[in-house]
Amino acid sequence: KSFLNHTAYLSCYFPNSQKTDIKDLIVFWQKGLEVVHEVYYGQEKHDNISPEYKNRTKMDMDKWTLQLLNAGIVDEGQYACIIQQRVKGIPRIIHQSECLLHIIANYSQPQIAWLHKGELKPNEYLKLCCSSSGGYPKPKEMTWLISHENKTHRLMNHMDISQDAVTKLYNVTTKLNTTVPTNTLTNISCLLHLGEELGSLVSVPLGI
């Protein structure tokens, strides 16, 4: 995983149990048919690199790790690391591994907005909207939390998702229609679930 516009680190997972010097090896990095990086016998070679990776890659020779600078959403996907050694003058593959890159962009803190105009009256419908923007990947769900008298209700309404055609980042919104509480303080929050590994973001609670 790598944050958007940061450096991604892709590992070859090469154990190098023979302690072979990189000067005796050829290392290729590929994504599909695109050449991402090449190291010939200890020297980085740039002739065959695909245009979108030019001047964006560096190999850490000690850790067998490729640094991909300024990682973008288009860089997501599977990368292959292929290591060859010359045996009797013929290059033979001695190691091959794959590495899957996922890009993460932070969503803004969810914000609750009123869709209601005029004075609120008891038992009328309260209309709210919650939104968060500029994130990646697509979130799992948005949940409303309504708390009063030491009880919390969870409501899952339809989540609208839009993706920016250029940046590929997602914007999400969800709406809530609920009756105005009477004679009790009610706190309403909105929770954006990003997935198991990325956790959740919560709005500032709205007190009514």
pLDDT per position as a tens digit, 86-117? 888 888 999 999 999 999 999 999 999 988 77
- Same domain for 40 and 54, yes or no, is yes
pLDDT single digits (tens) 22-51: 888 999 999 999 999 999 988 989 889 999
- The yes-or-no verdict on residue 148 having pLDDT over 80 is yes
Region of 71 please: left (phi>0), alpha (psi -120 to 50) or beta.
beta
- Same domain for 91 and 120, yes or no, is no
Last residue of a domain, one of 84, 104, 124: 104
Mean pLDDT of 147-165: 90
Mean pLDDT of 132-149: 92
Beta-bridge mates of residue 130: 112, 174
- Which has more confidence, 207 or 131? 131
pTM: 0.82
> What is the pLDDT at residue 144?
95
| SS3 assignment, position 130 | strand
Last residue of a domain, one of 60, 88, 104: 104
Percent of the chain residues topping a pLDDT of 90:
66
- Same domain for 142 and 200, yes or no, is yes
- Same domain for 92 and 6, yes or no, is yes
Give the pLDDT band of residue 135 (cuts 50, 70, 90).
very high
* 3-class secondary structure per residue, 66-94: EEECCCCHHHCEEEEEEEEEEECCEEEEE
Last residue of a domain, one of 104, 120, 139: 104
- Same domain for 165 and 177, yes or no, is yes
Mean pLDDT of 61-81: 94
> What is the pLDDT at residue 149?
80
- Same domain for 114 and 94, yes or no, is no
- The yes-or-no verdict on residue 182 having pLDDT over 80 is no
- Same domain for 80 and 17, yes or no, is yes
CA–CA gap between residue 84 and residue 207 (Å, rounded): 64
Mean pLDDT of 114-143: 86
- Same domain for 29 and 79, yes or no, is yes
- Same domain for 41 and 116, yes or no, is no
- The yes-or-no verdict on residue 17 having pLDDT over 90 is no
- Residue-number span of the structural domain to which 85 is assigned: 2-104
- Same domain for 142 and 179, yes or no, is yes
> What is the pLDDT at residue 183?
77
Average pLDDT score over the chain: 91
- Same domain for 25 and 87, yes or no, is yes
Mean pLDDT of 173-193: 88
> Number of structural domains, the chain?
2
- Same domain for 45 and 84, yes or no, is yes
The CATH code of the domain that includes 173 is: 2.60.40.10
Q: Beta 199-202 vs 187-195: how paired, if at all?
A: antiparallel
> What is the pLDDT at residue 126?
84
